[in-house]
Amino acid sequence: MESLSRCLVFCILFSLILAASSLVPALGMRLSDLAQLKLDMVGADVVFLQECLSELGYLVGTADGIFGPSTQRAVIELQQITGLNPDGIVGKETWQKLQELLEAAQGVHVVQPGETLWGIARELNVTVSELAAVNGIANPDRLMVGEELVVPMGRSGSLSTRVPAVRLMHWDEVNRLFPKSATATVLDLQSGLRFQVKRLFGTYHADVEPLTAADTRTMKKAIGGKWSWARRPIVVEYSGFRIAASMNGVPHGRSSISDNEFTGHFCLHFLGSRLHSRGRTDKEHQTAVMQAARYNQDAERLMPSR
């Protein structure tokens, strides 16, 4: 009887997680409608919260249904990174942010000519029932070419080795997410080379510097062996996000790292960012950002999960 009860609870939670990550229209479920959770609370809602935090990489370990210190720390980390009040309490705003992050992390498969739901499920290592449930498919025999299918995350392990898609994130959000002195990874999409940077400052865009001398050498190699003001489409990887961006490659202005062989800093631009000079929008940077946003497949190939 106990085993049967656990199985039933798991099935219910599994259905909720699928609904949360894909927003199945038929269910009309919004996480912000869920009850407030905080330290020392227990129950199925806490299990669901822990599953969400685990799905996004904030919590390690099994979901035990106990809102203990480790769960509270995971919630606070999420809140700090996303610009919410880091009080460790899961209210409407935190539930909403969880939903946004789950939606952003979900995988999408575009139906190709001749494909069947069974074939797609086998290719993605998920079950037909999972795929049908997430996408609200009543008749598995009827698929439209070009239709976008949401791929269920995590539960089947199908996407455990896939990276999240490149996001087109506005500068206002990036500015809150990627604070000064934080370290991020840059992927140059044209060369496939990666290097780390540290954010120095910047109000209208992010001014950064290579973290080490080795990162400087990799950066210089990526842009062709010499410094250049040319705008380049890149992906910035930070806190589980992969964000469409643009960079130039000339050291200029101030710096804070003395041993990285890079005298100065360089600029990272994002959607809606501007030049420090008179707050003007740079069309070339914005064009490169949009180019980066279309590099989802290449980014997934070049930036394997660690």
Q: Where are the domains of the chain?
A: 2-104, 107-151, 171-302
In which element (H, E) is residue 110 found? strand 107-110
pLDDT digits (tens, 9 = 90+) for 201-238: 999 999 999 999 999 999 999 999 999 999 999 999 98
How far apart CA 184 and CA 165 sit, in angstroms, is 17
CATH class of this structure's domain 171-302: mainly beta
Q: How much is the average pLDDT of 247-270?
A: 96
Q: Is the pLDDT of residue 112 over 80?
A: yes
Categorize the per-residue pLDDT at 25 as very low, low, confident or very high, splitting at 50, 70 and 90.
Answer: very low
CATH tag for 107-151 (out of 3.30.360.10, 3.10.350.10, 3.40.720.10, 3.30.930.10): 3.10.350.10
Instruction: Give how far the C-alpha of residue 199 lies from the chain's centroid of Cα atoms, to the nearest Å.
Output: 19
pLDDT digits (tens, 9 = 90+) for 146-180: 887 877 654 333 333 334 567 888 999 999 999 99
Strand residues in 179-290 grouped as ranges (E) = 183-188, 194-201, 206-210, 228-238, 241-249, 266-269
